Structures are given as C-alpha cells and as structure tokens.
Chain A
C-alpha cells in the first residue's frame, strides 16, 4: 500500500504505532497525469478527465515552449549550483526534479496573478519573468531579495517555512475586497498562489492560512510541492494523511497531480486558478514530485537517504518524458534540441558573468530601508559608521 493512499479508519481496531508501508514512488490512482514516464499520453482516467479541457488548446508550439522552459529552468538551477561550488554563492537550493511542477504552475498563472514563493521556486520566478540573475543576490549575500515584487507579481523568497502561506491568504483577501473576482474578464479577475514544500504543511502558519482562506473563500491556490523530503526527514514525519486529502478537512478541494508531468500541473493549476478567479474560493494542489539533489548545497543526503530511491525517480524525469513525447510527435528533432541547448548555454554564461560581476554593495547601504521615515538612531549609527570607516582610509 502506498503511504499516501489512506485506508479508512477502523475505530474498533486498536490503533497501531506501525507506520504504513512506504512506497513513495506511486502517487496512487487519484493522481492526475497526462504524460507518463515514457512520454505517452495517458488515456482518460477518473482522475484526469475533469482536467483535459484545461489543456485542450495546448498545441505543438506551446508544448515546445513548455519544454524550453523546463530546459532553461534546469540550466538556471545547474548554474546556481555550480556558482555555489565555485564560491560565488554562499548557498543554493536546487529545484532539480521539480521543474515540471513549477513550470506547469507558473505558466498557468496570468500576469495579474500574484505568487508567494518559498526559496526553491526558481521555475515559478522564471515563468513570472523575474531575471534569474536577480535570484542570485540573496544567495550571494549582497541583498535579502533582489527584485521588486510588484514588477512581476512575484513576492520575495521566504526562508521561514510557512510564513508566506498566510501572506497569500491575506493578499487574496485584499484582491477579493477589491472586487477583482468573478467578473469573467480574463484580464481582470485575479488569483494568488502560495508555494511550500511537504515539510511546510506541518507549520502552524500553513494550517492557519488554510483556515483563513477557506473561511473567507478567498481567491488563492495553495501549491504544495511534495518532494518527499524536508531536509533529512521523509514526509511521513510531517503527515499521516497527505496534503491533498487533508484539504477536505479545511473545506476546500484538494488534488494530487503528477508533479513531474508539466501538462498535468498546467491543467490542474489552470483549473484551480479559474476557480479562484471566478470567486469559488481556494484549492490545494499537491504536486507529487521528488527532490533529486541535496536539500541545499550545505546538505549531504547520503546521510539519510538511499541511492536506490533517487534512481527510481530519475526514470520519472520531467524533461526526459516531455522530450520523448515531442520527438514521438515529430515536434522536436535533433536540430531544434541542439538549438535549445545552445540557448541554455548562453543563458548560463549570462548568469555566470552577471553573478561574478555583481558588485558588493557599499557597506553604508546596510543602513538603508530599515525604516521608511527618518530614524535618528539608525542615522546616527550610519554617520558614526561612515566616519569610523573613513578613519581607516586616513591611516
């Protein structure tokens, strides 16, 4: 039995302490999937039938565009990793393996939709138009978030697990108060998306966010990337009932989607965002996926997980499967794939160069933006600091 398929509770039976057997690779029959690991279109199932209409319009061009996103996002991530290894970044949280979950979700969003990420959402940032270079500043230690959130409706990365879920609920409440739902105008109606991991579902903030959003019927989609690990802890340490099923307990629909299938995440997220924009309230999406790499560059996964598990998930790779599909459909040939590789190389080079050239901010900048209005203590300390630094130059 999969750990995520939950047997009905038999109240007569004594509770046992034994956790259910763990098969973390099977998302179960309720998981929405359109492309299997071999790149074949999955026939109509009970789980996916309701979502097929949301990808009806996805033509060859759009499929190729999704593939391009996946490849470029993976390259951004690989470059972040390499830059950390070369000492250019202090840390990098890799999204390797989660590209399809993020690109599917990100591409389902419209420009007016607002995203609240954690710290691993490089793929969503990409789809929202944030320059990948801007993601690096925080990990290089030159800033705490190097982009204007309102420019692309993509909030700053949130390190404290769960915090952003409530921000999303609140932002959605604001959208709702502004009357920006339910008009049917595709450019006007607005939804909010919040991203967290499976570990994040244990936080109080996460659970309070679900309560607030469900009670208010706010236009928000909670997107849980169940990548099966919260640093060293397997997700059975975070929940017994998986997130998509727990959603029901909050009074909102929950859906599990194959997070390694970009078509499925696109369809499911489009459906949820439509619901939100049309005023039908929140949805919880659980993207069933896997963290292929280490938690971050500071982490050593060999301490706690077996390699065999990773090997199984390698065969479910989100990029391989879409490539197989494109090739089989005659939508991609070697030449096109090579061009894309070249584009990825160029992107990587641009990121690398920009990162290496990213200047250290002048130290007195650290006193900026502590307050909006002048604050005598901060101003005095800045002045003292500047004078003190200058005293070294005089020597």
Chain B
C-alpha cells in the first residue's frame, strides 16, 4: 500500500528502514558500540533499543573482531545480525573476520551455510574529524569475493537499501555517507523498493559525458553537472549504489550514449573503485569512447589532517577540470 512520501534525512531513513526490518522479522538483531541508549554516535539507531529491547539492540564490548565474529555465530544460529562499525577507520580490527570468515562461509560450506548479515560503516571525510574517522575503505571489501558492497546517497535509497541488505541472504557491507547523514529528501514508504539492491541509477540525464560516482560524491557530482550544464555541457550522473556487484548495463548504456566517462570517488584512486569501472568501460565500450576514462579521487596518501580536506576531497572544480580535459580530446 503506497503512502504519501515523507521528507526525512538519510539518518532518519536508515533508522526507519531498520525499524521496519526489525518489525518484519524478529530474527533481526543489531550489534555495536554505543548503539543502545546513545543511539550510536551518529544516532542512527536512536530509539531502537527503547522499542525493541536490549535483547535485540546490543551494546557490545569495545572489540570489533569480537563484534564481527559474534555476528557470524549469531547468523549461523539463524539470526540476521546488523553490525554497526562506529567509524570507517575502526573496521580493521574486524577485517580478518570479514575477509576470512564472513566472505567465505557460504563458499566453503558448499552452500550449506548462509551468513545473512549487514555490516554498516559510516564512511568518508569532510566533517573535520581527527584521523581514522574519514576513510573510504570500500575497495578492500569490494575486492573480496563473497561480500556484497553497497552505499546509498539519498534518504529514499537509505530507507530501502538497508531493508534489502538485511533481507539479503548474503553478507552485505553497507556504506553510509556520513557527511550526508543530515541531507533531506523524499522517501516513498511504499510496499517494496523501487530498485533492486544491485541496480545503479541515472540521477541526472545528459548527452555529452557521464560522471560515474556513488555515496557522498553523488551530490557533489550533481552540482558539478549543473555547473557544466550552465556552460553548455550536458552531463549524465550515474549513481552506482552497488559497488559489488556493479550494474554493468546501466554504466555501459550511459557511456555508449555520451562517449565520455569520469569516475569520481573520495577514496584514493590507486586500485580504487574507479580503476575497476574504468577498466570495465574500456573493455566493453572502447569503440564508443571519445576520450580516455578519467578518474577524480583522493590522492594516494593516507587521509590527511582535516585542514587539508578541502583539497584532498574531490570538489566541483576538480570534477569540472576533468570534464574539460575529457572534452578536449
């Protein structure tokens, strides 16, 4: 039953999505540091412990490997754990569990075991934080077979994708663009998601060039596209949404149409998502290309002190500069 769309932030949409999933399935349990009374440091789980109890919303000890390994056990026992990692830079203590166990259990067991779990990670920079609080480490996980990796850039996606991730029988790494948590947008609280979890979506139509992006950079890319439009260049913006698997048809259709592509993300470019997308495009749409696929991303340095953020993170100018370079071919 469709209801009127509601305006809400990405943060509230995630909260509403988890609430819906918890109401629909008593096996959904949340685990993480400070997610109970505090509602998480970003308040994404606010009110859920109050309403679902401490048995379903667990404040865990401060130990990420512990959280992840315990979630594996819970999932083996038929629960659907949703784990919150407090910040991107704190997922590494759990890295071994995720890479060695979470990703491979279904494969190793020849399909007998399933790990329907979600690993929520607030990621990216631009909030003036100290080190380890601004990283974009999606490529590590996207590189690992057995994991699905997704990210949402709008409240509507946040609301639906978190539910789809929880409903998925595969483990899903769910990246939340932390600097966009308070962006507002309309959410259609209908019966089912408008898009499948694996689908990319065209956020803005254009004919001269395609910006392929995701997560926190979608908004930046859309603003850059508008600016380009004002200068007479028609830019299409593709929001990947799913980083693994990639929605190849949506990416390729767009690039075949425009003949030019630039991949934009916050993460360091070397061996980042942009490398994969560029390789895909060059392999599959070579004869349609008017220019080499370009990448705009973080520099290949550790995430710098926050006073450098404004120049480290791709901004509108850097995207437009790449647009110019692409058009110059």
Chain A residues within 8 Å of B, Cβ to Cβ: 90-91, 137-144, 159-162, 199-200, 202-205, 230-233, 237-239, 298-299, 303-304, 360-361, 363, 365-367, 370, 377-378, 381, 385, 388-389
**A233 adjacent to B89 (CB under 8 Å):** no
- In the complex, residue of chain B having the shortest beta-carbon distance to the beta carbon of A377: B300
Asked if B113 lies at the interface with its beta carbon under 8 angstroms from chain A, I say no
Which residues of chain B from 276 to 329 have any CB-CB distance to chain A below 8 Å in the complex?
A: 299-302, 304-309, 311-312, 318, 321
Closest 7 pairs (CB-CB, A-B):
A141-B306, A232-B38, A202-B61, A199-B62, A366-B304, A304-B37, A202-B63
User: Which residues of B have CB within 8 Å of A298?
Assistant: 41
Output the least CB separation between A51 and chain B (Å).
Answer: 30
Does B190 lie at the interface of the complex (its beta carbon under 8 Å from any beta carbon of A)?
no
How far is A303 from B46 in the complex, measured between Cα atoms in Å? 11
Instruction: Please tell me if B128 contacts chain A, counting CB pairs below 8 Å.
Output: yes
A selection of 5 A-B contacts at a CB cut-off of 8 Å is: A141-B128, A143-B305, A200-B62, A233-B33, A239-B61
Determine if B62 and A366 form an interchain contact, defined as CB atoms under 8 angstroms apart: no
Check: B155 CB closer than 8 A to any chain A CB: no
Are B131 and A370 neighbours in the complex by a CB distance under 8 Å? no
CB-nearest residue of chain A to B300: A377
Of A159, A205, A230, A378, which is within 8 A of B131 by CB? A159
CB < 8 Å neighbour of B63 from A204, A231, A304:
A204
B59 at interface, CB cutoff 8 A: yes
B39 contacts the other chain (Cβ, under 8 Å)? yes
Q: Is the CB of A366 within 8 A of B59?
A: no
Q: With A231-B38, A388-B321 known to touch, is A160 a contact of B132 (CB < 8 Å)? A: yes
Q: Write out the residue numbers on chain A whose beta carbons fall within 8 Å of the beta carbon of B52.
A: none
For the complex, is B73 an interface residue (Cβ under 8 Å from A)?
A: no
A204 to B36, CA, bound (A): 22
Question: Roughly how many angstroms separate A203 CA and B61 CA in the complex, as a whole number?
Answer: 8
Contact B41 A142 (CB under 8 A): no
Query: Is the Cβ of A381 less than 8 Å from the Cβ of B38?
Result: no
Q: Which residues of A contact B36 (CB under 8 A)?
A: 232-233
The interface residues of chain B lying within 8 Å CB-to-CB of A232 are 34, 36-38, 59
B93 touches which one: A140, A205, A238, A365 (CB < 8 A)? A205
Q: CB-defined interface of B66-80 with A at 8 Å, one 1/0 digit per residue?
A: 100000000000000
Q: Which of B35-89 contact A (CB under 8 A)?
A: 36-39, 41, 59-63, 65-66, 89
CB-defined contacts of B65 to chain A, threshold 8 Å: 204
B145 at interface by CB-CB < 8 Å? no
A-chain residues with CB within 8 Å of residue B223 when the two chains form the complex: none
Q: Is the CB of B301 within 8 A of A303?
A: no
Q: Report Cα–Cα, A360/B128, bound state, in Å.
A: 14
Are A160 and B311 interface neighbours, CB within 8 A?
A: no
Residues of A contacting B300 in the complex (Cβ-Cβ under 8 angstroms): 370, 377-378, 381
Contact A160/B92 with A203-B62, A231-B34, A232-B34 known, Cβ cut-off 8 Å: yes
Q: Which chain B residues (100-141) contact chain A, with CB distance < 8 Å? A: 128-133
Would B66 and A202 count as touching, CB distance under 8 A? yes
Do the beta carbons of B311 and A363 come within 8 Å of each other?
yes
A90–B311 touching, CB < 8 Å: no
Q: Please give the distance in Å from B124's CB to the nearest CB on chain A.
A: 16
**C-alpha spacing A378/B268, complex, angstroms:** 11
**CB-nearest residue of chain A to B304:** A366
**Given A142-B307, A231-B41: A204 in contact with B312 (beta carbons within 8 A):** no
Give complex CA distance A142, B309 in Å: 10
A140 in complex: contacting residue of B39, B59, B66, B307, CB < 8 Å: B307
Q: How close is A312's CB to chain B, nearest CB, in angstroms?
A: 20
Q: Are B129 and A304 touching (Cβ within 8 A)?
A: no
Q: Does the CB pair B128–A90 fall under 8 Å?
A: yes
* B-chain residues with CB within 8 Å of residue A366 when the two chains form the complex: 299, 301, 304-305, 308, 311-312
Closest to B61 in A: A202
- Given A90-B128, A232-B38, CB of A204 within 8 Å of CB of B66: yes
Of the candidates B37, B38, B300, B311, the one having the most CB atoms from chain A within 10 angstroms of its own CB is: B38
- Within 8 Å CB of A360, what residues of B? 307
